[in-house]
Structure 1
Amino acid sequence: MPFHRSAKPCIVQTDFTVLLETEHPSFEEARDMLFRFAELVKSPVSVHTYRITPLSLWNAAASGLTAEEVVSALRGYSRWDLPSAVERQIRLWMSRYGKLRLEKAGQTLQLAAADEETLDELHAEKTACSYFGLRTSRTTVSVLPRHRGLLKQELTRLGYPVVDLVGYHEGRPLAVSLRQELPGGGEFRLRDYQRLAADAFTGKGGADPGGSGVLVLPCGAGKTVVGIASMARLQCETLILTSNVTSVRQWKAELLDKTTIAADDVGEYSGLTKQVKPVTIATYHILTHRKRKTDDFSHMKLFNERDWGLIIYDEVHLLPAPVFRATADIQATRRLGLTATLVREDGCEKDVFSLIGPKRLELPWKRLEREGWIARVRCREIRLPLRPPSLERYRLAEPKHQFRIACENPDKLHWVCRLLAQHDGVPTLVIGQYLDQLRLISEALSAQLITGSMPQERRNELYAEFRSGAIKLLVVSKVANFAVDLPDATVLIQISGSYGSRQEEAQRLGRILRPKRGGSDAYFYTLVSSHSKEQDFAIKRQLFLVEQGYTYEIETVGEDAMRRYQEVAGT
């Protein structure tokens, strides 16, 4: 049933979902309101569905939002009365944030509850009370320092997030100053939002010790610079963990370019080089590498190799489970998570919250676009028919194989050629999941192909040629999802992806978010086989970006049209 235009845009349901009418005049206002404390779960054309969860409310509370503000916002945009059960539960969930505090108590720690009943309830939970020591008063219980992370992780799972007020050790000091003039010429200063992000992490004074948490900023917004600014605030030796060797090199280059840290004080710890220096940059892959499944993670010792005062988790949404376990043991060290999206496909967002820290700041992508810090992007999904013989193969295949058959629709090559002709001479990336498909396209286009098997040095050479303008087109596998600095990339054509991965969709769009010369638009194309599993997954992939305010233009190409296009092109 269509909504009445005169009504308010939201319907709040008893199952904690919120329906938002996309064509309502107040749609954008209501979307920005929901963005602060709810998660988008469905995004059909006319009605978006959000879900309010304990974690979304705890992150909102950690950022300073109150239950009264959430309830008032929902009432302000809700078509009908806010269900009383929903209001009660919102108040209950948000009241639990801050109800438990972890504090210093001499040589040990104590868990302090707001009331005796809460502590009694937790004593009845076997998994929680296994980390408790002596009950020192009606509302406090002692906790061993080595259980600090494990206790927080378990209490969060039980629905009782802990505000950690213990503080952190200083770590070995290291002088870190931000340059005002760059070695290659030009001035350098933090953007206002980068300064705001560093402030949010390092603490607001008073009872908030800062020093742990996650900053969520769009790709291209300078997350690396925010990490460097945090290092300059804290003046301590730092371990930086990131997704791949390309990212290691980029962090090192940025550190040497924008700070006074000496090159000899920056070490690379990866499969290629293993240096432990006052600032050490390592990959998640090397930390979790082992020859056999029964072996220990020998490189985890890196966490204790030096007296780190800060650990930075770049692309924190990719954090592997073994690194979570190691992080539980180092809660006395400051921890900064950097990411473009807190979405985790494995559902471990609560572990990020409890072990790295709450969301300290999230900057909406569209806000930075309006301010000119990231490019304006036009997103377009082109749905192509599956034609014989691919259609017959798809229909006869087992469900687990149908997705790949749809992704490898041979007609995608023709459409890639059309888009390249449309954007002739514009720096373009063609990105996909399946190597056979990528090889076919790179050969047809006479374009360089970058995959995980290509040596890192050769990848760097090709990226450098792309940046210089010597080559205008690269075909890349998922190795280019993260930490590839190609500021002039203006068009991205996505021919296949990892099922319904929202984080991958966001990261791929991030490859073209750097502002363009003259303020021109960037273009993000996705080629999808219509009426297939690939189309179903494409809708799921887009959720995070739709929540951020992006819209996807949909073009459906019929069989007859596809045939005419190819006849005209002579293919």
Structure 2
Amino acid sequence: MADGPLIVQGDKTILLEVAHPDSTEARHAIATFAELERAPEHMHSYRITPLGLWNARAAGLDAEHVVDTLLTFSRYAVPHALLLDIVEIMARYGRLRLEKDPHHGLVLRSDDELILTEVLHVKKIGALLGSRIDALTAVVHGSARGELKQLLLKASWPAEDLAGYVDGTAHPIALNDDESTWTLRDYQRTAVENFWAGGSGVVVLPCGAGKTIVGAAAMAVSGTTTLILVTNTLSARQWKAELLKRTTLTESEIGEYSGAVKEIRPVTIATYQVLTTRRNGAYPHLELLDANDWGLLIYDEVHLLPAPIFRMTADLQARRRLGLTATLVREDGREGEVFALIGPKRYDAPWKDIEAQGYIAPADCVEVRVSLSRAERLAYATADDAGRYRLCATSPAKSVVAQALVEAHPDEQILVIGQYIDQLDDLAARLNAPLIKGTTPVKERERLFEEFRRGNISVLVVSKVANFSIDLPEASVAIQVSGAFGSRQEEAQRLGRLMRPKADGRTARFYTLVARDTVDSDFAAKRQRFLAEQGYAYRITDATG
């Protein structure tokens, strides 16, 4: 294409001209293998990474597809060396395969004896392997399946896991979908089919697009006992309610394993927090992983998986694993561990595609810039790095603007979201609205969320405890006064609180309040990258305008 929207560079960066008429099509095409790094107004910058290419390869895309995408949309000639590099990187996936051998159990097999020889000579990898059966095959210690995949990924030889899975204990589960009330959507069905065909892996869907239903459908296909890991007790109870509504499971078949309750049933829903509780240097609740012959493990909000769960997951490689998330972005950079231990990305639906089908609400994202007072500017200038962000993030000017925005939307269901409790206490008092924070008891949280759903409460002030897995379908306006530094995942989750389609089809509004000329604006730019990748543009307005 002589005048394409992309400029592809030899250092594996891609520039996308936002105003180009083909920019949307190009963005969707490159999102399957490239990650957005910066998203200023006119030119977005992406990077091609090995992990992105291997995820694309595992999802069924080959190097020819990636190369053709770059050639089709590039404005200038694509560097030949880059194209060769892409072909070679993608060719590494699957050159090593984990397989079951009838005589030797788990084996590592290659189509090139030199590749196998190379990895055998990596000390940590060699320690996990037994004897070499022949030039192309080596025995793998049975318990080393997960750790071996991690080490092979670090050695840039990602293994394709074809060793299969144990069936687990059979337990009949069926969807009770009914054309008159609800039915599995096409993209949900495709996500489940892709996951099941791959055996294990991650499904990426926008908030509000029905990730829980994908989980339920995977359970129905599996027909086995299932362990579901979730972020908190509220999420566990929402999962239970959804499973009772969408499947043939009964109350007695679903157990909750949380700080308050310890039930082990054919379908057990446990919180990450209880599994990662340590006493005397040990994890006492780890026995839950062996408490049943689980046929399926589901990790809700897999992008938040705590580090100890990764270690536990390394021992669960013989069981099917499904990760569910709205974004695979991890702020700790452990995307590689998700790839190796949960599995590669099996399905990823762009938010705008799901919006176009009417399954999530359209969203208008607005950045409202406020100015610090002279006294605040002086305090900011003399503060240390740790204090600067808190100072600008909690500026009183934001509370004034937040109140004005609430008053400007009198007929909407509004969430006011922030990071700092003293700021939220002030806002709750100013707005005469209830506040949900970490110290709010679970029962009180449930009551307030239910009152909000019913419309009895129109404004709710929430801390980061409401970032995840909270179903508030009628929330139509969110005002973000402060956030977790530059967290892209948090930005996606907070916008996600608004994405459930509205009964009257109206557009959701997401305001983020930013102190200009401070680190607050730097962090805001980083947080907004993920949404820019999904096609959401932030309008910028001045609080005084």
TM (normalized to structure 2)? 0.98
Alpha-carbon distance, 1:73 to partner? 1.1
Work out the CA distance in 1 between the residues paired with 2:283 and 2:412: 45
Aligned partners of 1:288 and 1:105: how far apart in 2? 35
Residue 439 of structure 2 is aligned with which of 450, 453, 476? 453
In structure 2, the residue corresponding to 1:136 is in which secondary structure? Answer: strand
Alignment of 1:143 with 2:140, yes or no, is yes
Percent identical residues: 51
Cα offset, 1:399, TM superposition: 1.5
- Residue 187 of structure 1 corresponds to which residue in structure 2? 181
In structure 2, the residue matched to 1:283 is: 271
Q: Say whether 1:312 aligns with 2:312.
A: no
Structure 1 counterpart of 2:234, from 237, 243, 246: 246
Of 543-552 and 116-125, more deviation after overlay is shown by: 116-125
Q: Aligned partners of 2:237, 2:374: CA distance in 1, in Å?
A: 46
Q: Aligned partners of 2:255 and 2:231: how far apart in 1?
A: 16
Task: Report Cα offsets for 1:239-265 as digits up to 9, x if no partner.
Answer: 000001110000000111111112111
Aligned equivalent of 1:170: 167
Measure the CA separation in 2 of the matches of 1:548 and 1:408: 29
CA–CA distance in structure 1, aligned partners of residues 404 and 394 of structure 2: 17
Distance 2:345 2:4 in 1: 30
Residue 181 of structure 1 deviates from its aligned partner by 4.7
Which residue does 1:119 correspond to in 2? 116
1:297 to 266, 280, 283: 283
Deviations 1:68-120 (Å, cap 9, x if unpaired)? 11111111112222212211110111001111110001252111112112112
Q: For 2:305 and 2:481, how far apart are their aligned partners in 1? A: 26
Q: Distance in 2 between matches of 1:543 and 1:496?
A: 17
Deviation at 1:388, TM superposition (A): 2.7
Once the two structures are superposed, the pairs formed by residues 59-138 of structure 1 within 5 Å of their partners are 59-106=55-102, 107-138=104-135
Show the counterpart of 1:485.
Answer: 471
Structure 1 residue 278 displacement after superposition: 0.6
Question: SS where residue 411 of structure 1 aligns?
Answer: helix
How many pairs were matched up?
544
Mind listing any 5+ residue stretches in structure 1 that lack a counterpart? Answer: 204-209, 563-571
Task: State the shift of 1:6 in Å.
Answer: 6.8
Aligned to 2:406: 420
- Whether 1:274 and 2:262 are equivalent positions in the alignment is yes
> For the residues of structure 2 that align with 1:288 and 1:180, how far apart are their CA atoms?
35
| CA displacement 1:400-446 (0-9 Å, x = unmatched) | 21011010010111111211121112100000000000000000111
Judge conservation of contact 2:54–2:93 (CA < 8 Å) in 1: yes
CA deviation map 1:12-54 (0-9, x unaligned): 1111111111122221121111111100001111211100000
> For the residues of structure 1 that align with 2:109 and 2:122, how far apart are their CA atoms?
16
Does the CA-based 8 Å contact 2:403-2:430 persist in structure 1?
no
Instruction: Report if the CA contact (8 A) 2:107-2:138 is conserved.
Output: yes
Structure 2 equivalent of residue 336 of structure 1: 322
Q: Any idea what the Cα deviations from partners look like across 1:117-142, whole Å, max 9, x if unmatched?
A: 21121122112211111111111111
Distance 1:278 1:10 in 2: 51
AA at the equivalent of 2:243? L
Q: Does residue 167 of structure 2 align to residue 160 of structure 1?
A: no
What code does the residue aligned with 1:322 have?
A: P
Of 23, 30, 33, the residue aligned with 1:27 is 23
491, 508, 512: which one aligns with 1:526 = 512
Q: Secondary structure at the match of 1:285?
A: helix
Match of 1:201 in 2: 195
1:405 lines up with 2:388 in the alignment: no
The separation in 1 between residues aligned to 2:434 and 2:408, in whole angstroms, is 20
The residue identity in structure 2 corresponding to 1:175 is P
TM-score, normalising length: structure 1:
0.94
What amino acid does structure 1 have at the position aligned with 2:182?
F
Secondary structure at the aligned position of 1:391 is classed as helix
Match of 2:343 in 1: 357
Counterpart CA distance in 1 for 2:117 and 2:260 is 52
Is 1:553 aligned with 2:539? yes
Distance (whole Å) between structure 2 residues aligned to residue 257 and residue 68 of structure 1:
44
Amino acid at match of 2:500: R
Cross-structure match for 1:9: 5
Contact 2:354 2:360 in 1 (8 A): yes
Partner of 1:494: 480
- State the distance in 1 between where 2:278 and 2:95 align: 41
Q: 1:262 aligns with which of 250, 269, 279?
A: 250
Cα distance, 1:7 vs. partner?
2.6
Question: Which residue pairs with 1:472 in the alignment?
Answer: 458
**Matched residue, 1:231:** 219
Rounded to whole Å, the distance in 2 between the matches of 1:136 and 1:308 is: 32
Which of 402, 417, 430 is residue 444 of structure 1 equivalent to? Answer: 430
- Secondary structure of the equivalent of 2:248? coil
For 1:296 and 1:509, locate their aligned partners in 2 and report how far apart those are by CA, in whole Å. 37
Q: Residue 432 of structure 1 aligns with which residue?
A: 418
Tell me, in whole angstroms, the C-alpha distance in 2 between the residues paired with 1:161 and 1:542.
31
For residue 504 of structure 2, give the secondary structure of its aligned residue in structure 1. Answer: helix
